Every structure is written in C-alpha cells, then in structure tokens.
A and B are shown apart, each in its own frame.
Chain A
C-alpha cells in the first residue's frame, strides 16, 4: 500500500476520542490533530493547549485605535481651526467619543486578523484526514508520523473504540 502520512480514527463519542487522545499522548505522540463538530471541554482538557496569542492582537489593535482616533480628531481640528459655539479648538470631551469608537473598530478587526493568522485560515485546500462527518456528529483524531507510529496509532484508535480507522 502507498506510504501513508497519517491515520485517522473516526469516533462516534467524545469519550472515545478523549481516550484515544490520552493514549496517544501517553505513547509520546506530538503530531496529531483532532476534528470535532463543536468545541468540547473534554477535548480541550485532553489537549491542554496553551493560551491563545490572539489577545495580543486585541490589545495592540485597541491601543492603535485609541491613538489614531485622538490623533485624527486633534490633527484635523488644528489643521484648519474653526471656532464653533465658542468652544476650544481642541475640545477633549467630544474627541473621547471618536477615540472610543476607533478603539473598538480597530481592536475588533485586529482580533479577527489574529484569529485568521493563528488558526491558519483561510484554508480552502483539503485537510489531511478530514471527513464531512466531523462537522455533523463524529469526532476525528488524526495521527501523523512514520509507518511504525502509524501502525501503533491504528491499534490505539481501534482500542479506544474508533468506528473506523483509515490511512491518509
């Protein structure tokens, strides 16, 4: 058979998937991937990933927004000073509104950008081991590695009650 790069286990239940993950980890597997129709706390626990760096984008985006908002309002007001209602040319209270809105706007967009960056989206190509059922009610665990590891993975999946195990 052709050289498989990975093996996927299709699980009907989240507990089984978790079990599979646990034993993969126990065997020292590092390179595996999990598909699920919905985020499950059980899986999250089992995977125990470290905190997402998206929040940094959020922070810096927001700060940029604030700076930009105030800068723009002040710069344009000073560019052509026109007095209205005897109010100061640089009148802070109204500019706060502008600063606030731009904070939210740029912050939000930066956050989304961050998510796309780290989640590796958009990903229009095929994903190894992906199966449409994973967006319905099945859970998928894909393990990658050399032939030996794959063989082991097959066993693990089968043992943890995979409904189906196949190479990819």
Chain B
C-alpha cells in the first residue's frame, strides 16, 4: 500500500505543477526581461519633445565601425548604415523618423531629409569621389524616384500601434526595435505579431491590457 500512496501523491503533484507551469510560462512570455528605456541606450535621450529630435548631441566624423563577417537582415537598395548614423554619429532616431512623435505610424525619412546633409557630406575616398552609396542616394534624388526600401518591421493589420503615445511615454525605440544603432543593416529583432511581448510590457508598466486598445 505504501507504494500506492507515493504514486498517488506523485501523480497529484505532477498535475498541479503542470497547471502552474502553464500559467507561469505565459506570464513570462515574449520577455527576455530587458531593462526599461532609460538604461537601454544612452545616446537616445528620454523623451522630452523637441530635444528628442535635435542634432545637438550629434558627433560626426571618425572611422566607421568595422563590418561584421556576415550581415543580418535583407539587402537594401542603398546600404544605409544605422550603426554609423545612429551609433557612431549618435543621430537621434526622431531626427529622420520624426512622425513617430506625432502619428500612429512612423515615416521613412523623405529623400530631401537625407539630402539635407548629403548635399554636402559625401564621405569621399582619397580620389575625392563620393561614397558609392551616397552617390546612389543623390542619383535617386536627382531622378525624383523613391528609394524602394525593403520593409523590415510590420505589425499585423488587425492591430494598431500608436507610436506617438509610446514615444510620449518616453519609451526608447530600442525597446521594441532592438539596438538599431549597432546594426550596419537593420533586421527584425522579434516577431511583431508576438502579442505576448506587448502585453508583458504593458503588465510590467501597469498599462491597460484591454484588447480594443490595439485591436479594432
């Protein structure tokens, strides 16, 4: 009879722990619990309206960081290096992607924005020829043709994400988009359809988890 009782106790425990595991599993979902905005990336100041997109902190010049052996993410029509602009030069994200602060959707910078600098700067080689990628940009602009960027991040159509609200809350872009400033070529750091990621963050910050906050 001893044997029996042990077995039974074991069985009962097994079932209960399974249930517990289930719940705890979900609680932790999608979350490699990364530190919140302030410590995520020092070069991105906490949201404070205008300062967010000012070029005060920008430090151009110097040698570009070496490229890793293999690059993640799809090849783009122009090899635009976030690790140089956002990383080395410390350009704020909102300088180019300014609509993140005032719209639900984020814009890609217009070519005129790029040309704002690259009309002048061209990272010429010793012979004085402009950097080929910048040359491409100037070419597109001259032709008046849009650069057909390959889309990296896309949230499913049945959910709506107010960038403006998250920026206003002082959330660093890196929180969701990863350390773009270290990416020579941008790649998605996580599946944006992983709702667990969103809800987990909302739970940690005590924000609403109401479904119609995003789904309508």
Chain A bound to chain B: yes
A contact residues vs B (CB 8 Å cutoff): 53, 56-57, 60-61, 63-64, 67-68, 71-72, 75-76, 79-80, 82, 106, 110, 114, 117
CB<8 Å pairs between A and B, sample of 18:
A53-B1, A57-B4, A60-B11, A60-B12, A61-B8, A61-B11, A63-B12, A64-B12, A64-B15, A67-B15, A67-B16, A68-B16, A71-B19, A79-B23, A79-B26, A82-B211, A117-B4, A117-B7
- Report how far A110 CA is from B7 CA in the complex, Å: 10
Give chain A nearest CB distance to B17 CB in angstroms: 11
Q: A-side binding surface: helix, strand, loop or mixed?
A: helix
**Assembly CA distance A106 to B12 (angstroms):** 10
Across the interface, which residues of A come within 8 angstroms of B8, CB to CB?
A: 56-57, 60-61, 110
How many residues belonging to B are interface residues under a CB distance threshold of 8 Å? Answer: 16
Residues of B within 8 A of A76 (CB): 23
Asked if B177 lies at the interface with its beta carbon under 8 angstroms from chain A, I say no
B11 touches A110 (CB 8 A): yes
Contacting residues, chain B, for A56 (C-beta < 8 A)? 1, 4-5, 8
When A53-B4, A57-B8 are in contact, do A80 and B27 touch as well, CB less than 8 Å?
Answer: no
Is B190 in the interface zone, CB < 8 Å from A? no
- Indicate the member of B12, B22, B27 with the most A CB atoms within 10 Å: B12
| Least Cβ–Cβ distance between B199 and chain A, in angstroms | 8
List 5 tightest A-B contacts by C-beta distance, closest first: A60-B8, A64-B12, A68-B15, A72-B19, A75-B23
Contacts of A80 in B (CB 8 A): 209
